[in-house]
Structures are given as structure tokens and as C-alpha cells.
Amino acid sequence: MLLASLLFISGLTACSAAALASSSNHVLLPKPTGFYQVGRSAAEVIDYSRTQPFVLGVEPRKLMISLFYPVVPQNPPTKRAYMLPETARVEDIMLRAMGLKSPNGTFEKVNLNLASDQTHQNLTHQPSCDYPLTIFMPAEATTRLWYSQIVSTIASNGYVVVSIDAPYDVDVVEYPDGSLALFNQTLWGTTNLTELARTGYVAIETRAQDVSFVLDQLSNATFAHSLVPNLPPSGINTTRTAMFGHSLGGAAAYSILEQDARVLGGLDMDGGLFGPGEGTSKPFMIMGAANHTRNITGDLTQTTWAATWPNITGWKRDVTVAGMLHYDFSDYPVVFETLGITPGVKVATNPNGILIGTMKGTRALQIVTSYVTAFLDFVILGKCSALLEGPVKAFPEVTFEY
């Protein structure tokens, strides 16, 4: 992604948490399709035993996480801001630089359908809930907030989803005090493949450590209760979870499997499998974009899939989705579709363009969330699904490479 424009926005003013309230000029994304409504909370968690790897100076590893959790339907959902205001302004600048035809303030007006997004909830008549936990991590240079529609839909199917940002290797992380951690263009902008691989290795290793740290924090019942209402006294069960991620987040989902026994399986959405992971016997699934398969000689991602596949010795699946490109595994297509705007750069002629394909945004969302949910149900709950066994009529776009 083209992120040089981020260098000019470090002076953006701080915003308050209250600014999450929706503006009157809102655009509402589709309601999550599962049985449950969805609540949201967010928190900053700091690991003082580690330092940030991609920043000058020394500072502890400061993470922002979002939790999306099921809520038994009671009242109509309400409009909640999709992004914090400063993050939305960063995305405005960045995506216009990449060719998106959108005016200033575009992403500030986008809203989710949520039951609540208060840290301390007052949701009456909610039964004590013990929903399974799953973990999500985004692509490099892409905030976790660009996946909120995907993860809220998965939460509506009965999961607590924790979404974790990786400071300085995503485009922007906004903290409660209004400060921003911006993407380190110097490290990621190199064309030297050896240096890029080294940076990627450190990023994936760091992200895997982030996942374990967040699981440790969520295992504290007091902390968990501050984020999710009506949990059982023991809090969130962090001993049986699974992870899915996009791009670099998918590589982290692979690497964590043999590092943390609590993570029972992983799903990679169109991400190269480089980094510290050397193999696994746990369930693992690859979802690739159109013509993105380990069986076709191609880019670095495909090369790593082919090299890694024999080292995945347990249950595994490899599928590709016709009509989808790399960022169809994010909220880009459904957000752009809802806004009525289209990318202004053809990806065939500009590799820094917005990598979304020809598929409608709502359809891309349906495919991603259906297959991710089926995988989570299988790994965590032991439920079988025809979606994981082979082609089905409901999703003709999905081809199995097995």
C-alpha cells in the first residue's frame, strides 16, 4: 500500500473517546447476519516486558484491542462509529492518495449496526454467557478497524472476537489519549527482498507474542468483565481459542500455533507464510484470492504456500475465491459499496492500487464470514460443515485446492 502521505499527518489533533458517537450525516453498514446482536468495547494493553520493534527510541509494547461480543436481541441496534475520527482522517488521506474517489470526511460518517460500544455496559436481561473466543489480526499497513464489519458478523454467530492492532506495522493505531502510532514506511518501504523478509520475520514474531500477551490479559476475569458484560464469574475461556488473520495477520495465525497451546487452529486469508512458523499438526486453512494458489507459480505468497504445505501435517484446507483480490478479505468492498464510491486506480497497471476485485462487497463479506465461522466452529466446537469438505452450490466462487 502507498503510505507516504502518512508522513504529513503526525500533527493531527487528539480526539476524545466520546467522539465515537455517530454523526447525523451517517452511512450505515449492513446489520450482522447472525442470530445475535453485537456489542463492542476497546482497550489499551501495555506489555512492559517488551519494547516496540519498529520505532526510534524505547517505548513499551502498547497495543489497542477491540472486542466484539454477542448480545441477545432486545432492542433495535444503534449506529456506532466505524472509526475514531483521527483514524478516519488518516484513512481519507491515504486512500485518496491511492486513487479512491472520495471527499474529505468520508470515513468519519461510516457507522456499524451495534447493540452498544460502551466499556461498562448496562445491558439488561442478558443471560450469563460463555461464548468461545477467537482472535483476529489485520494485514500489514492496515488498521484492525478496517475489519470491524467482518468481525462483528462473526461475533453475531456466537463468538467473542478480539481484534489486535500491531503498532508501526499497521497504518495507524489511535490510543485513548489521542496519540497516534503511524506505519514505519522506512522499514516496510524497502525494495530489498532480504531486508523486507527480515522485517516481516520480526513483525510476525512480534505479533505472535502480542497474541499470547492479549490472551494472558483476557484470562484475568476482572479485566475481561470490564470489557464484556454478563460473563460467567470465571470470565472468558482463553484455553481453547483459534485465530484468523489477513495477509501478515494470517502469517501470525500460522506462527502462533506451535508457540501457544491455547490456540487450537489458524486460518490465513491471502497472506504469505513466512516468519518463525516451521510447521504444525493443528488444523490450518488458507483462503486465497482469485488465481492465488500454491499450485501456480507466482509471487512470494504463492511460493511460501507451496513450501509450507507439506509441513502442515494435520487437517488442512486450501481454497481460492474467484472474483476476489487481496483486500476483498477486508471491509474495503462492503464499505465502498455502501458509500457508493469506487477505486480510481486499476490494479492491473498500478501495484499500489486498492486491491479489490469484481465481486460485490456484500457477497465478499458473506463468503469470508461464512467460511471463517465454519472453520471456527470446526476447530473450537468440533462441528462439521459441508463448507469445509468441498465445493457447494451456495458458493460457486470457492474452489478447493485441498
pLDDT tens for residues 39-78? 999 999 999 999 999 998 899 999 999 999 998 887 788 8
- Distance separating alpha carbons of residues 64 and 28, to the nearest angstrom: 24
Lowest average pLDDT, out of 108-122, 140-154, 181-195, 211-225, goes to 108-122
> What is the per-residue pLDDT across 83-104, written as a single tens digit (0 to 9) for each?
999 999 999 999 988 888 888 8
* Cβ within 8 Å of residue 24, ≥6 positions away: none
Mean pLDDT of 389-401: 98
Q: Considering the chain, what is the average pLDDT of its residues? A: 88
Question: Burial of 78 by CB count in 10 Å (0-12 exposed, 13-18 middle, 19+ buried)?
Answer: middle
> What is the rounded average pLDDT of the residues 333-341?
94
String of DSSP letters for 60-92: EEEEEEEEEEEE---S--EEEESS-HHHHHHHH
- Which domains, ranges and CATH numbers included, belong to the chain? 4-400 (3.40.50.1820)
For the cut 90, the answer to whether the pLDDT of residue 13 exceeds it is no
Of 51-60, 113-122, 274-283, 327-336, give the lowest mean pLDDT range.
Answer: 113-122
At 325 the pLDDT is: 94
Chain centroid to Cα 118, Å, comes to 21
Characterize the bridge pairing of strands 133-137 and 160-164: parallel
pLDDT score, position 18: 37
CB 175 within 8 A of CB 62: yes
352 or 142, which is more confident?
Answer: 142
List, for residues 272-325, the tens digit of each pLDDT value: 998 887 899 999 999 999 988 898 766 778 889 999 999 999 999 999 999 999
Instruction: Compute CA distances 339 → 94, 110, 174, whole Å.
Output: 17, 8, 24
Give the pTM.
0.91
pLDDT reported for residue 1:
37
Which residue reads 457507522 in cell numbers?
111
Whether residue 108 has pLDDT greater than 80: yes
What is the DSSP secondary-structure string of 222-255? HHHHHHSTT--TT----SSEEEEEETHHHHHHHH
Give the three-class secondary structure for 210: helix
**Per-residue model confidence (pLDDT) at position 127:** 66
Q: What is the pLDDT of residue 7?
A: 30
| pLDDT for res 104 | 86
Cα separation, 82 vs 29, whole angstroms: 9
